[in-house]
Structure 1
């Protein structure tokens, strides 16, 4: 016997239509080149429909990939809705990838057109000659200039975003299958090439509902939200979709995420909820202290572990602790939120601070389990025993785009392997304690030690090299390299960093290279990285402001 319920479409268009129909008076503020532009939902929605029509004018077919290479702005927000609601797929390109990686993801996704902020053209233009699928580029004027980039993009048609939207009539959206692709992001969370995660309309809709839950982010009509997590990073944690659907006002910060600017935006706009990685909150705290931040109800933090001291500093200095959330590109990303229970109020400040170092309980719609790595054997939920954290749910990836099934991230029984080692207590509270691999997460971005090690050992003066992540007061972790020189060679740190810089972005480079006689190894001859991390744990204890 089947239920007798309507087949209601769970699509991005449905989210858009709710915001358009009910909250036309609400405001969206977009910061660009030091200026703030304010528009209403009604005017914004009209531009979204015009942008969808512009995609038709450009000849972009349904299901085609539309790339975005942009900061958090209202134009990027237009793309978040116009592209999927019109049946295309928005590919948010991570601007922080190394050029070869940017080229790889554009080609792998098959982007036909890229919408790029004018300020990011110097980063994008050099990779376009190696991207044959890109036939058109649309420039979004975010820097206040009038750059003529046509001569730098031979063979590629160049358009102005504002001209396209202004000269196109708004269109009606046609029905879209809720299981069809809506957006995609690539993750560099594993060694090798980035992997593409494809979100369906259905998953985006359900994730938006989860982000609106009172025990998650609680996004609602009364909010004024400042999303500091980039819109090119895991759908900005799903905040834009949920905010529009619920009628929350948005403040989109553009490219300046410095501590003083973030603090000024929070205070001036009476922001109620904001979200970003720990590095942002470290730099913002001195500029928030002593100011009126009583509007704030939630400071969400993810992308990297939140130091207990940082959350407590916020609690004691501005009256509101940081709330940790956890997820991955593969989980859309909201999978667990560290919101304390009502009965946690009976605990001491120290006990609550310790709880906040965990990532919290899996949100409604996500199941989590712990197993012994490499097996399906369950691990006790006692808050002590450790195991690999695995998840499943309606917005959890079932595979990677264009990747053979043999490389599936799923277990044989359909759970996503997260690569994290964790504990879970009897009430489902998850605490991450290690990683099944030795990846380094710095400022919310992944760095591959193996790739750095291989390139170091490509240098003729290097006999052995091992890279580990060690604690950093601002970036959570930074890479440190231990190097054994070839006998008779006197290569120095500067030369090796210069060698690495030809293959890696600046933020991926080790902050320090330590020259040693030998590297400790395990009984089977592998680098003893746990021992190395402990040995160099205090290497960056006094650092704070490098690799912004």
Structure 2
């Protein structure tokens, strides 16, 4: 027997329809690439998205066509997103921090037919376009007054292009299982892999992320997605923001501490999200200026492990709640968030911050387990490490083109490549990437735990730990440190600070100082580059 309920497909244009109907005058504020702060509304975003869809369809682009975006977080980028999806196309966010050859490879792999790009990236697009055989149109997200000269064919200024449409267009009639978005993994090992989102997965992910024990945002919030839209959909905020009718503040291309603080302060932002490196710049700016964060209530930190010292600074000094989160491009991307269940509600002080070091519990829609190398499931005791595997309606079932099939099993579980443990209350904590875990004397040492501990030293700006070959133990940890500006800590200072806070056999065998630690295009520490850099390094003794 089937239920007698209406068919109402979960398609993404219903999100922007809802925002325009129920929250028509809620602002979408952008730091424009040209410079000034611009203001729009959800009603205007929808109207302009309809024009984008109308023009793409008129010019012969078909449902299923991949339409790339190479752009910062702005209102125009949102309009392009919903317009692409609304005509049945697949938005394909490109990460400008990748090497040009990688971007060209990705565009060819995806067969991108058009690209929306910001002024910032026009020199890059001019290099890429001749190498992408499928590309037939370039839309520059600017107006005629700021349009640069270019020798590329079929290039148009976005604002002038929109004048050719009246917006009298019906959204494409696509099913909820149709593809609507694409994002490639950063490709730290092998070629990048394409993750192909569906309308249904994006809508369900947006609903999951808004839950009170997830991001917990609502129409009264002012949301600043510092995390770029090319990092797995700005962690879903490009859909969840309009779904609940929040005011959105889009930061454009300026990610320095002063620029982010300006928006937090002038727009009275209550909720924001980004990777730790961004918040490090903000906290340094606040320390230098003495400024406070009177409006900000909540910050989500993910992308890489959030150092305990950062959590404590936000909460103790500025009164801002930190939600430690974890996810992956393959998960749309949210996998877990560290909000407090009743079991931990009464925790305070160090007990509370011990819990906040974990990446948290999975929301409804994400199932997870840990297994050994033989795929036997391991207990949730908060101690036993294992391979972290996940499944759910917003988790990839395969990669575009069938790459990486060995990461997916017949029961639908996706092997994340992370090593983690899960406690009895369902709180997960990443201890390493499986390829980064240090194996010393047959036991595992968490490089992430050591990094977070080292960053707690007042003279340390950033830290990384890698395993180096050891004749007796197989591998031993080397601590690599970037000192804070104007500080000159010694290795013994840092080791003394760490002593007693981890098992003695976990302690790094040596400390070395560098000016900069390499990062991937998504802001994670690039351990492969560090292992190459320190190949042949001799540990003491």
Query: What CA distance in whole angstroms lies between the structure 2 residues aligned with 1:350 and 1:257?
Result: 31
Partner residue, 1:428: 426
**Compared with structure 1, are the counterparts of its residues 2 and 163 closer, same or farther at alpha carbon in structure 2 (3 Å cutoff)?**
same
- Cα shift at 1:144: 7.4
- Cα shift at 1:438: 2.9
Q: Does 1:162 align with 2:159?
A: yes
Q: Does 1:539 align with 2:512?
A: yes
Partner residue, 2:84: 83
- Cα shift at 1:522: 8.4
Query: What CA distance in whole angstroms lies between the structure 1 residues aligned with 2:272 and 2:103?
Result: 28
Partner residue, 2:298: 298
**Cα deviation per residue 1:379-410 (whole Å; 9 max; x = unaligned)?**
11000111111110000000000125x73421
- Cα shift at 1:282: 0.8
Structure 1 residue runs without a partner (length 5+): 441-467, 483-518
DSSP-derived class of the 1:346 partner: coil
Normalised by the length of structure 1, the TM-score is: 0.81
- Cα shift at 1:306: 0.2
Partner residue, 1:218: 216
Moved more, 87-96 or 286-295: 286-295
DSSP-derived class of the 1:538 partner: strand
Partner residue, 2:386: 387
Out of 275, 291, 315, the position equivalent to 2:273 is 275
DSSP-derived class of the 2:174 partner: coil
Partner residue, 1:510: none
User: How many residues of Structure 1 are paired with residues of Structure 2 in the alignment?
Assistant: 475
Partner residue, 1:371: 371
- Cα shift at 1:376: 2.0
DSSP-derived class of the 1:47 partner: helix
**Compared with structure 1, are the counterparts of its residues 144 and 275 closer, same or farther at alpha carbon in structure 2 (3 Å cutoff)?**
farther
Please tell me whether the aligned partners of residues 225 and 237 of structure 2 are also in contact (alpha carbons under 8 angstroms).
Answer: yes
Normalised by the length of structure 2, the TM-score is: 0.82
Structure 2 residue runs without a partner (length 5+): 439-446, 480-506, 524-541
**Compared with structure 1, are the counterparts of its residues 102 and 529 closer, same or farther at alpha carbon in structure 2 (3 Å cutoff)?**
farther
Query: What CA distance in whole angstroms lies between the structure 1 residues aligned with 2:432 and 2:78?
Result: 35
DSSP-derived class of the 1:317 partner: helix
- Cα shift at 1:542: 8.2
Partner residue, 1:416: 414
1:166-245 matches, cutoff 5 A: 166-170=163-167, 171-245=169-243
DSSP-derived class of the 1:216 partner: coil
Query: What CA distance in whole angstroms lies between the structure 2 residues aligned with 1:295 and 1:47?
Result: 31
**Compared with structure 1, are the counterparts of its residues 165 and 439 closer, same or farther at alpha carbon in structure 2 (3 Å cutoff)?**
farther
**Cα deviation per residue 1:4-35 (whole Å; 9 max; x = unaligned)?**
22221101011111111111111110102431
Partner residue, 2:4: 4
Please tell me whether the aligned partners of residues 476 and 509 of structure 2 are also in contact (alpha carbons under 8 angstroms).
Answer: no
Query: What CA distance in whole angstroms lies between the structure 1 residues aligned with 2:110 and 2:464?
Result: 30
Output the aligned Cα RMSD: 2.7
Partner residue, 1:108: 109
Partner residue, 2:444: none
**Compared with structure 1, are the counterparts of its residues 475 and 192 closer, same or farther at alpha carbon in structure 2 (3 Å cutoff)?**
farther
**Cα deviation per residue 1:500-532 (whole Å; 9 max; x = unaligned)?**
xxxxxxxxxxxxxxxxxxx54689xxxx55545
DSSP-derived class of the 1:37 partner: strand
Query: What CA distance in whole angstroms lies between the structure 2 residues aligned with 1:337 and 1:351?
Result: 18
